[in-house]
Amino acid sequence: MGKTSSWEWEEHDGNHIHIPIEIISDDEMALIEAALALALASASASASASTRSFSSLRSSSKSPLHSNALSFTLPSKRRLSTAMVNDIEDLPTRKKTHTLSDSFLHRFRNKRCLSVTDLTSTEWCPKQMEFSLLLGGRKVNQVMRAGIARHAKLEEEVIQRVEVKVKSQEDYWALKFLNFINGVNQLLFEGLTRELPVIGSAEDIWMVGVIDEIRMPLTENDHNPILIDTKTRARDTLPAEPQRRNGRLQLMCYKYLWDNLVADDFPSKHFFTYFGLNPQSNLSEDLKVISANSGCSALTLNDVVRYYRNTCRMLAPAHDQLLLRYEYQKDHSLLGEDKFPYDPDWLKNQIHSCLEFWLGEQEATFTPEEERWKCRYCQFGPVCPAYTDSKGAVAPNRNDLDIKEG
C-alpha cells in the first residue's frame, strides 16, 4: 500500500471515479449481512469485563492477532500540534413518539454504544437491520474472512499487539482511551496511524467507530488529518453507487466523531453516568504502567479521560476531503479511489433517519424500489414482503462488496 499517492489531490478530476461497475454476487453480498453479525458480536463483546488481549503501535511488530483483541498504543515521545475549533452544528431536534424501552436501542444496545457499522447497515436497508437484530445475522464467509485478513495485515504494518489484563469496565474504557492517545501520538510523530478508536455522541446517543487509516497531509501548511477507509473486493471492479454511498456515510461518521472530539465536545459526566462507571476507580497495575509509559501517569479512569480530552484539544479537525480506496483481494492492487467532500447537512439527515429507526420513532422501511436488487441476495428474503416484488429484478452482471467493522 503506497503511503503518499492517495493524497495528491490535484491529480483527481472529480469526486468520483468513472469505471464500469457490476451488480453483487451471491457469495459477496454476504459481506453486507456478515457486517450486521459482526456489529452485534462486537457490541456483545464490549459488555464483557474479562481478561483481553490488546495491541501497541510499533512498525516492527509480527505479533499474532487474537480474536478478542482490542488496541493499545505504545507512547510516542515527541510534541503534539495545536488545537482547532469545531464547526459541526447540532442535529435537528426530533419529536419522540415511542418510549425508549420499546426501541431497538434499548433492547439490543442498552448501556452500550451504537457502532458506525450499525448506522451504515441501517442505511443499507433498515428492514434487513431489523431482521438481523430479531433473527440473528449471517455467519462470516470466505470472502468476508479475506477482507478481515487484509485489514489485519494493514494493521500489522504499523501496530504490534501486546497483552494487557483488564479487570473492570473502567479498565476496559481506560485502555480504549489510551489506545486513542497513543494512536494520535503515532499520527503526529510518524504521519500515519491505523485502526484508531473514536467515541462520541449524536443526539445524546453514544457512538463508537474504528477509523481504518489516518494520514497527515504532505504539505507543511495543512494540519488537518486525512481519513481513509480501504475496501477489499473479490472482483476487479468498483462497487455500485449504493455501496459507494454507504462507504461515504461511514467515513463522514468518522469525521463527525473526530471533529466533535477535537472541539472538546466530549461529555465526561454524561459518559460516566450512561455507562455506570466510577471515574475514581483505580486502574489495574498493568494500566498504570502503560499510562506512565504513555506520559499520562494516570491512576484512575478520570485521570485517563482528562489526558484524553487534553490530547483531543491538540488536534485539528479532519480534512474536508475524505477518501475511499478499493483494493483487489487477489493481489492487493488499487482498483480506484473515491475522493469526496464532507457534506454535514447530508450526514445529519442520514444520522437522523437511522436514529429514528433505533429509537423506535419510525418503522423499518424497505430498501428503495430502484435498489430492490439487494433483496435477491439478502438471507431474510423468504420472510421479507419486499422480496416478492424484487424477484427477477436483478441485472445479469455482478460485483462484490467489502465491509469493515466499526
Burial category of 17 from C-beta neighbours within 10 Å (exposed 0-12, middle 13-18, buried 19 and up):
middle
Report the pLDDT value the prediction gives residue 240, as an integer from 0 to 100.
Answer: 92
CB 169 within 8 A of CB 287: no
* Helical residues (DSSP H) of 141-195, grouped into ranges: 142-156, 169-190
Report the pLDDT value the prediction gives residue 101, as an integer from 0 to 100.
Answer: 64
**Band of the pLDDT at 393, cuts 50, 70, 90?**
very low
Report the pLDDT value the prediction gives residue 229, as an integer from 0 to 100.
Answer: 95
**What is the second-level CATH architecture of the domain 21-390?**
Alpha-Beta Complex (3.90)
Mean pLDDT along residues 89-101: 46
CB 37 within 8 A of CB 137: yes
3-state class (DSSP) for residue 327:
strand
254: closest CA among 64, 33, 406, 90?
406
| Residue 228, all three cell numbers | 481513509
As a whole number of angstroms, the distance between CA 288 and CA 295 comes to 11
- Say whether pLDDT at 78 is over 60: no
Mean pLDDT along residues 41-55: 40
Report the pLDDT value the prediction gives residue 301, as an integer from 0 to 100.
Answer: 97
Q: Output the CA torsion sign for 215, 187, 54, 279.
A: negative
Give the model confidence (pLDDT) of 318-334 as tens digits.
Answer: 999 999 999 998 898 99
**Band of the pLDDT at 140, cuts 50, 70, 90?**
low
190: closest CA among 28, 342, 78?
78
As a whole number of angstroms, the distance between CA 181 and CA 171 comes to 15
Report the pLDDT value the prediction gives residue 30, as an integer from 0 to 100.
Answer: 43
**Band of the pLDDT at 83, cuts 50, 70, 90?**
very low
Residue ranges per domain, the chain?
Answer: 21-390
- Say whether pLDDT at 92 is over 70: no
Q: Which residue has the higher pLDDT, 61 or 207?
A: 207
Give the model confidence (pLDDT) of 23-38 as tens digits.
Answer: 344 344 444 444 444 4
CB 160 within 8 A of CB 401: no
Q: Which of 39-53, 125-139, 188-202, 338-352 has the lowest mean pLDDT?
A: 39-53
**Band of the pLDDT at 139, cuts 50, 70, 90?**
low
Q: What is the chain's mean pLDDT, rounded?
A: 75
Mean pLDDT along residues 184-195: 93
**17 to 4, 127, 309, 325: CA distances (angstroms):** 19, 30, 38, 11
In whole angstroms, what separates CA 53 from the centre of its chain? 20
Report the pLDDT value the prediction gives residue 387, as an integer from 0 to 100.
Answer: 75
Report the pLDDT value the prediction gives residue 106, as an integer from 0 to 100.
Answer: 93
Report the pLDDT value the prediction gives residue 130, as an integer from 0 to 100.
Answer: 95
Q: Which residue has the higher pLDDT, 377 or 244?
A: 244
